[in-house]
A and B are shown apart, each in its own frame.
Chain A
Amino acid sequence: MDFMRKAHILVSVLVDVALGVLLMWWLYRDDHIAMLANTLVPAADRVARQLEELLQWLMGAPAGLKMNRALDQVLGRFFLYHIHLWISYIHLMSPFIQGILWYGGLSACLGLTFALSLLSDMVALFTFHIYCFYVYGARLYCLKIYGLSSLWRLFRGKKWNVLRQRVDSCSYDLDQLFIGMLLFTILLFLLPTTALYYLVFTLLRLVVVLFQGVLHLSLDFINSFPLFAMALRICRPYRLAEGVKFRVLCEEPGTALHLLMEINPLKCSTLVQTYRTPTNSCYPRDSWAALVKKLFVGELIYPWRHKSTKTD
């Protein structure tokens, strides 16, 4: 088993490096790097312009939904200014992008997996503003939901008892009731606007997370696939045994029974299952139900949990 593991690691790394060198050769031939760099800045520009259009659409009664005009304008202008800052940042960085890509491409000689993880990180960097928007929208929405639930309890005349972790009735003062009522009405009528912004930005963030997840999964697959064992199974099946088969050679009543023993090679599926190396991969942190609940309440979602930090 030790031998298999060592052999597998060696073969994996070799194949990885070979694929990486292939990728490098493809990148540096025909000056692909410069082409990539030249298309990157306009692509970022286009993404930013589409985001601006989306915000303009949100600011003016999208899909026939009725939004509070004043709050709409405030939020829309805030996010537009943010995008403007982001565009200036991109334009500032544009002379350096080609150099960065060149050096990044060099690192592909360390393996295809390295290049893939680098790509994933770059995607995260370039969609940083979407992440920012998502965090702003989620925080606002979470605050609003929290305030609304607390004030709804005030509406009914009850209070959350922290000591007993339950809802108890409570006799409020007149001024507490009045101010709580005002705040409740305001929060309630401003809810559709905030909810819409939160929804839009959460969807965008989920798209980015999905893309990164696909990259990670393919990385995981490349890392853990037992290439050596597969090669062994194809070329020398007698090295991996699942069991033995006996075949009767001659069966005569006078002489001894002659049997031929053949080794039963492993089936491919069992092979993959047994020799798959456990990698330091990322698993989704929550189940679907917990994810939906978190989305509804407005908690921030940290989608990936690393296997090494299981103790938290």
Chain B
Amino acid sequence: MEQGLLAPETLLWTSLMSALLGYGLYQALTSQTKSCSENRTHLADSQSAALFLSFTFGFSPVLKTLTESVSTDTVYAMSALMLLAHLVSFPYAHPSPPGSLSLNAALFASVCLASRLPGTLHTFAMLTCALLVFALWPCLLQRLRENAPGQFTGVCAGVCVGGVGGLGSQSLGGAVLLSLALVSVTLICPLLLVRLQRHKDNIHGPWDEAEIQEDLSRFLH
């Protein structure tokens, strides 16, 4: 959007469409387990969505001029730091309600970056997109993992490829690094873990807890 390649309206409509799609998928996956109290949650969900959209739209002019006086390098450094914090503090075990610190850090980084864009509608579109990616996508992924584990692997791989491809369109070196990192984290580290198991060595010594090895049945006579 900064280079004028993508119009903000397109991004906006795309994100809204994908949000609706994701919501439909989410409901489809949940309805297999429990079917009551759905009407209430629909209303609450639409209320939350209306709240998000109105607040973001209302604050977009303010957010746009927020980092005007801060230099670009500082903004990039801050966003990088915050996204790193998001990665580090993400609750990988149960990502369904996303953790506070990780979500906050990600949103802070996206606000920093969004305030650098050239228009208010750009800011609004980027914030909606960021909200989708950071807040709602993990919930959908978690639901997918629970109910349809086969498709889960396919979706994950698709997301990885999409990320590498997107980065590759901007800078090739970054795409290479990202693919290397993904491959090493997903494939090589668990492989190492499994292969090095046989080299594991347990040393026994006087520091162990005492274990009774005698046959105590002679005391029962």
B70 with A66: CB separation less than 8 A = yes
In whole angstroms, how far apart are the Cα atoms of A177 and B106 in the complex? 12
- A189 interface residue, CB < 8 Å from B? yes
- A155 interface residue, CB < 8 Å from B? yes
Chain B contacts of A172 at CB under 8 A?
100
B56 with A155: CB separation less than 8 A = no
Given contacts A174-B97, A182-B63, A186-B63, contact A154 B104 (CB under 8 A): yes
Given contacts A68-B68, A185-B108, A186-B63, contact A178 B101 (CB under 8 A): no
- A171 interface residue, CB < 8 Å from B? yes
B66 with A185: CB separation less than 8 A = yes
A186 with B62: CB separation less than 8 A = yes
Chain B contacts of A70 at CB under 8 A?
65
B104 with A177: CB separation less than 8 A = yes
In whole angstroms, how far apart are the Cα atoms of A174 and B45 in the complex? 11
Chain A: minimal CB distance from B27 (Å): 17
Q: Which of A109-163 contact B (CB under 8 A)?
A: 154-157
How many A-B pairs with Cβ below 8 Å?
73
- Taking chain A's interface residues, is the majority helix, strand, or loop, or is none over half, making it mixed? helix
Chain A contacts of B112 at CB under 8 A?
185
A179 with B67: CB separation less than 8 A = no
Given contacts A186-B62, A189-B66, contact A178 B100 (CB under 8 A): no
Q: Which of B69-95 contact A (CB under 8 A)?
A: 69-70
In whole angstroms, how far apart are the Cα atoms of A184 and B107 in the complex? 11
Chain B contacts of A178 at CB under 8 A?
52, 55, 107, 131, 135
Residues of chain B at the chain A interface (Cβ within 8 Å): 48, 51-52, 55-56, 59, 62-63, 65-70, 97-101, 103-104, 107-108, 111-112, 131, 135
8 closest pairs, A vs B, by CB?
A157-B100, A66-B69, A181-B107, A189-B66, A185-B111, A155-B104, A175-B48, A181-B104
18 A–B pairs (Cβ distance < 8 Å), ordered by A: A66-B70, A67-B69, A68-B68, A69-B65, A155-B101, A155-B104, A155-B108, A156-B100, A157-B99, A175-B48, A177-B107, A179-B55, A182-B59, A182-B107, A185-B111, A185-B112, A189-B66, A189-B67
Residues of chain A at the chain B interface (Cβ within 8 Å): 66-70, 154-157, 171-172, 174-175, 177-182, 184-186, 189-190
